C-alpha cells in the first residue's frame, strides 16, 4: 500500500491522486543530494536520547511535563518532572491564591532537537506576540522581533521551527489556513507568503516536524512541506491513507533510523488501530504502509488497558510518538477513569505505554522511573483548542547542548 506525491522538475504542476496545488515548483524537494546537504537535524543513525514534553493545563497554569519514554538518564530528568522556563523574561510567577494575579505563563510552540520556541500566554500579548528561542539545558535564549497580527490570525495556527546551516540559522513558520508568516534569522524579519489550498484542517496532537532541513505538517487530508532554503516553494499533497477510509484521529511525524515516518491513530465504533507509514522515495514522494496493528490484536497484561480495548472506549487512548532508535516501537497513553474527586478538578490520571507493532506487545512503562501524569492528552488539547493547540513535542537531548543561533541585525547581508 502506498500513497504517492511527486514534484516534477521544470514544471509548475504537482502530481498526485487528486487536484492539488503548489507554488513555483522547479526541482524535487526530496532530492537525495539536497537531503544530505541539509542533514543538520539527522543524527547519522546514532542512538538518540529523547523525551516528550507537553503543554499541560493545571491549577498552576501551564506546566511543561516531561514524559521519559526512552529511559533518558540526563541529570535534568532526575531533578524535576517538568521543564522550568522561568528564566525567560516573559514569565511572571503566580502569586498566592486569592490575590487575583494568575501570573504569566510560557507555552511551548515548537521544538528542534533540544531547542524550544516559546511565547507568553498573556492575552494582551496576542496582538504583538514575541517568540523566544531557548535551550532549557543551558538557559540561553533570544527574543525574536514581535509581529502584529489580528486576533483571527492567532487562532488555529500551526507553528514550526527548523534550523539549518549547521544550526547557525533558523526559520519559524506560522500557518493560518492559506497564509504563512515566516521569520528568518538571516534577515531578522517576518514575511508573509501564500500556502497551497488545503481540503480540511486538522487539529490533534500533531506538530510541525523538521526532517533533513524541511518542515512537514499533516492534517487529515494533506501534507504541507516547506523548504527554508527555497521559501517561495510551498507544497501540499495527499496524506497517506487507505482506500475508503473516513477518519484519522491523530497523527505525528517521527524519524527512525534516518527515515521519515508518520504515525496515525484511527478509530471507529467498537475498535481502532495504529498505523505507520514510511517515506520510501525522496524524489517521487512515495509513502508505503509499514505497520498496522488493530486494537483487538494487542497483547497486554495491563487489565485496565485490556478492558479499554475490549469495549468502545477508544477516546481514552491516544498517541505520543515514535521511538527514533527502535523501528516499530511507538508510545501511547491511556486515561483512566477516576471515581473519586481529584485535587485538581480538571485532572485525570494518564499512564504511558510502549507498543511494539511487530510483536503486538504493549507494556506499561516503569512506574518507578516514569511518574503518572495527571492530565488526559485529549483534555490538554481541548482546553487549548484553537490557540496553537499542538501540545506533544519530541525533545532530543544531544551529547552537547545546541547553541542558540545569533540573530543578524535587520538589513545586514
Strands (DSSP E) contained in 228-270 are: 234-238, 250-256, 259-268
Predicted local confidence at residue 18, as pLDDT: 31
Residues 311-322: tens digit of each pLDDT: 665 567 889 999
The residues, ordered by sequence, that sit 6+ positions from 382 with a Cβ below 8 Å of its Cβ are none
- Does residue 26 surpass a pLDDT of 60? no
Confidence at residue 375, expressed as pLDDT on a 0 to 100 scale: 45
- Is the C-alpha dihedral spanning 110, 398, 190, 23 positive or negative? negative
Biggest alpha carbon–alpha carbon distance for the chain:
65
Average pLDDT over residues 204-216: 80
In angstroms, what CA-CA distances link 32 with 27, 149, 280, 395? 12, 38, 12, 26
Cell numbers 480538571 correspond to what residue?
346
Average pLDDT over the chain reads: 73
pLDDT at 96: 56
Q: HSE, CB side, 13 Å, CA atoms: give it for residue 83.
A: 31
Reduce the DSSP state of residue 176 to 3 states and report it: strand
More confident residue, 401 or 17: 401
Among 88-92, 380-384, 408-412, the range scoring the smallest mean pLDDT is 380-384
CA-only gyration radius of the chain, Å: 21
**Alpha carbons 143 and 130: distance in angstroms, whole number:** 7
For the segment 284-295, the average pLDDT, to the nearest whole number, is 90
Reported as a single tens digit per residue, the pLDDT across 219-249 is: 878 888 888 888 777 777 788 989 888 778 8
User: Smallest Cα–Cα separation from 65: which of 79, 50, 84, 48?
Assistant: 84
Full-prediction pTM beyond 0.95?
A: no
Q: Which residue has the higher pLDDT, 38 or 97?
A: 97
Confidence of residue 161 (pLDDT cuts 50, 70, 90): very high
Looking at domain 2-94+103-397, its CATH class is mainly beta
Give Cβ neighbours of residue 188 (< 8 Å, ≥ 6 apart): 145, 407, 408, 409, 410, 412
pLDDT > 80? residue 377: no
- Taking the C-alpha atoms of residue 65 and residue 43, their distance in angstroms, rounded to an integer, is 25
User: pLDDT: is 252 or 365 the higher one?
Assistant: 252
| pLDDT of 141 over the 90 cut | yes
Amino acid at each position: 500500500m502506498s500513497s504517492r506525491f511527486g514534484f516534477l522538475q521544470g514544471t509548475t504542476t504537482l502530481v498526485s491522486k487528486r487536484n492539488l496545488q503548489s507554488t513555483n515548483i522547479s526541482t524535487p524537494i526530496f532530492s537525495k543530494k539536497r537531503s544530505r546537504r541539509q542533514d543538520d537535524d539527522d543524527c547519522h543513525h546514532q542512538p538518540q536520547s529523547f523525551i516528550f514534553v507537553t503543554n499541560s493545563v493545571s491549577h498552576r497554569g501551564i506546566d511543561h511535563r516531561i514524559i521519559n519514554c526512552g529511559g533518558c538518564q540526563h541529570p535534568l530528568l532526575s531533578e524535576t518532572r517538568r521543564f522550568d522556563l522561568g528564566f525567560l523574561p516573559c514569565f511572571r510567577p503566580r502569586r498566592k491564591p486569592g490575590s487575583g494575579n494568575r501570573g504569566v505563563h510560557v507555552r511551548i510552540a515548537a521544538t528542534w532537537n533540544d531547542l524550544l520556541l516559546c511565547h507568553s500566554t498573556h492575552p494582551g500579548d496576542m496582538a504583538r506576540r514575541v517568540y523566544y528561542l531557548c535551550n532549557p539545558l543551558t538557559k540561553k535564549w533570544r527574543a525574536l522581533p514581535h509581529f502584529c497580527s489580528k486576533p483571527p490570525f492567532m487562532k488555529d495556527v500551526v507553528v514550526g521551527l527548523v534550523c539549518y546551516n549547521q544550526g547557525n540559522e533558523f526559520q519559524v513558520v506560522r500557518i493560518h489556513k492559506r497564509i504563512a508568516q515566516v521569520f528568518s534569522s538571516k534577515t531578522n524579519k517576518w514575511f508573509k507568503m501564500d500556502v497551497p489550498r488545503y481540503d480540511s484542517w486538522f487539529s490533534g496532537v500533531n506538530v510541525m516536524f523538521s526532517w533533513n532541513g524541511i518542515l512537514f505538517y499533516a492534517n487529515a487530508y494533506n501534507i504541507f512541506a516547506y523548504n527554508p532554503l527555497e521559501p517561495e516553494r510551498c507544497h501540499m499533497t495527499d496524506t497517506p491513507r487507505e482506500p475508503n477510509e473516513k477518519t484519522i484521529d491523530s497523527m505525528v511525524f517521527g524519524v527512525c533510523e534516518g527515515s521519515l515516518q508518520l504515525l496515525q491513530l484511527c478509530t471507529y465504533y467498537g475498535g481502532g488501530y495504529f498505523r505507520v507509514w514510511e517515506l520510501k522515495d525522496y524524489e517521487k514522494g512515495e509513502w508505503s504502509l509499514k505497520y498496522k496493528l488493530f486494537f483487538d490484536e494487542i497483547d497486554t497484561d495491563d487489565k485496565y488497558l485490556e478492558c479499554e480495548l475490549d469495549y468502545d472506549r477508544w477516546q481514552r487512548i491516544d498517541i505520543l510518538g515514535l521511538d527514533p532508535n527502535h523501528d516499530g516501537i511507538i508510545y501511547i497513553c491511556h486515561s483512566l477513569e477516576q471515581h473519586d474527586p481529584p485535587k485538581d478538578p480538571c485532572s485525570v490520571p494518564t499512564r504511558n505505554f510502549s507498543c511494539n507493532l511487530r510483536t503486538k506487545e504493549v507494556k506499561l512503562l516503569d512506574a518507578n522511573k516514569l511518574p503518572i501524569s495527571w492530565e488526559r492528552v485529549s483534555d490538554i488539547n481541548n482546553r487549548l483548542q484553537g490557540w496553537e493547540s499542538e501540545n506533544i513535542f519530541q525533545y532530543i537531548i544531544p551529547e552537547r547542548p545546541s547553541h542558540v543561533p545569533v540573530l543578524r541585525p535587520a538589513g545586514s547581508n
